Structure formats: structure tokens, C-alpha cells
Amino acid sequence: MPFMQSFNRRQFLQMAGLSSTLLLSGCGSDLFAGVVGQVTEPLNQRLDELLLNPQKPVPEMPISSIEPDKLIVNTFDFTPVIDPKLYRLTIDGEVNNPMQLGVKELYKLPLTSVVMRHVCVEGWAAIVQWGGVRLRDLIQLAQPKETVRYVYFQSADGYYESWDLRSCLHPQTLMAYQKNGEPLPIENGAPLRLAAPIKLGYKHSKWVTRIMLTSNLLPQRGYWEDRGYEWFAGL
């Protein structure tokens, strides 16, 4: 049947997604929000990608401008307490050199400090100092294959995120273990969390246990993204 031929699997899934959005949403404007997002978000994401120069650092702020009280702790579920001695960061996926790193090995890598504005999707912002390992150094160690375009982050609390590779290679994208000059507090993601001035706060996974490099985006793109938030979320 010509209808079935022209109607491929992807279109079917899109339709299914669309209709489930329509069915699940209660009120009128909510009903259209998913559709509006599906129409405009690809355009806005292209703008995000155009604006991002992965080589260009965002101007840093003076240490004196740090706002320790303004950083609100947001967690989607619970706060995992991790024994630093037992902690291992796994880096795997499409890499030539998959690895596991302990806290001591991470501390031996070059330390980078960034004083930046942490911007939450809710509208508040706080100037924070984060110190840690550049994500691009870790990615280099793992030797990604040519085809890698995306990076997944898995957290001890079940939170998951995915980033575009270009944003991960930005010089201020850190796997941080320091906050405002002190060891990273547990509620802020100890022993290791993502931190970067170029993306919204919900992209910054805390308690990261696994970094997985992939060529393609998987059906699951991130905890909040799968619930309707923007995936690129560039600042």
C-alpha cells in the first residue's frame, strides 16, 4: 500500500509521541506547548550551536564577585553519599582506551579553576568558583573514535544527561571537585560533578560515575530533556 510505504518507522514514532503528548496534557496551552517546542526548538538549537565557539572561553569573573548564598541545591530525587576511597569514574563507550579513574588519579590531572555564572532554568543565577579537571583532558585520555559526537553522563542518583561533544571540549567545561575554593560538598555533587558556564544548570550532572562517548543520541537524552526541557540548553 502506498500509504504504508510513505509512512516510515520514524514518522510513526513521531506521531505516537505527538499523540501521547496530546493525550497526557490536561489543559489547553499545555497541549500545544509540546507542539510549539517541536516546531521552534530545532531552530533555537541551531542558534545555540552557531553561538557556541568551543575554543572561546567565557570572560571570567573576579573571586570577590562569588555569591555563596545564591547557589540553590536542586536535586531530582535523593542525595547519594559516596565513599571517595571506593569511588571510580568510568569512561567508556566508543573509545580506544576505556578507563576507570579513582579520586587520587583525578587529583593528579591538571587542575583548572573557573569563576562563572551558574544559571538555572528557573531563572535564578549565582556566581560560583568551580575547580577540577577539564573534561576535554579526560576525553583525550580515553581516545574517542572519529565518529563520536555525543557524551552521556550517568550519576549515582540515577540522573542522566547527554551533551554535544563540542560543548564538552570547551576549555571551561570541568569535572569539578572544588566549589568556592573548598572541597566539593556532597549536596553539590561530591566527589565529581559537571560544571560549565556555557549551559543551563540542569545539564550539570552531580555525582557523575560514568562518562560514555557515543556517535548518536539515544532515545533517552536526559532526565529533564525527556520531560520536555531543551536538550542543547546553551547559554
Partner 1 sequence: MTTDSPRFKPVLFPKQALLAKSFHWVNVVSLFIMLGSGLQIYNANPVFGGRQGIHLPPIFIGGWLAGGRDWHFGSMWIFSLNLLWYGVYILASRRWKHRFVGQPDLKALQVGKNPKRKAYSWHRIVYTAIVPVLLLAILSGIGMYKPAQFYWIVDLFGDWQALRIVHFMTVPIVVGFTIVHSLLALKVGGSRLLESMFW
Q: Which is nearer to partner 1, 52 or 151 (CB)?
A: 52
Stretch that binds partner 1, among 37-45, 84-92, 178-186, 207-215 (CB under 8 A): 37-45
Residues 190-209 that bind partner 1 (CB under 8 A): 197-198
Question: Which of 120, 140, 85, 93 shows the shortest CA–CA distance to 201?
Answer: 120
Does 125 participate in binding partner 1 (rule CB under 8 A)?
yes
**SS3 assignment, position 214:** strand
**SS3 assignment, position 21:** helix
Stretch that binds partner 1, among 2-10, 12-20, 119-127, 148-156 (CB under 8 A): 119-127
Q: How many CB atoms lie within 10 A of CB 190?
A: 23
For the chain, where are the alpha helices, taking DSSP H only? 2-6, 9-24, 28-51, 103-108, 135-142, 165-168
Residue 98: CB minimum distance to partner 1, A: 32
Asked whether the CA dihedral 122, 190, 77, 204 is positive or negative, the reply is positive
Q: Which is nearer to partner 1, 166 or 229 (CB)?
A: 229
Question: Which of 131, 108, 114 shows the shortest CA–CA distance to 182?
Answer: 131
- Residue 182, classified by CB atoms within 10 Å of its CB into exposed (0-12), middle (13-18) or buried (19+), is exposed
**SS3 assignment, position 203:** helix
For partner 1, the binding residue among 19, 30, 76, 220 (CB under 8 A) is 30
Residues 72-91 that bind partner 1 (CB under 8 A): 72
For partner 1, the binding residue among 2, 42, 59, 62 (CB under 8 A) is 59
For partner 1, the binding residue among 5, 6, 26, 64 (CB under 8 A) is 26
Residues that bind partner 1 (CB under 8 A): 25-27, 29-30, 33-34, 36-37, 39-41, 43-44, 51-52, 58-59, 72, 117, 119-125, 197-198, 224, 227-230, 234-235
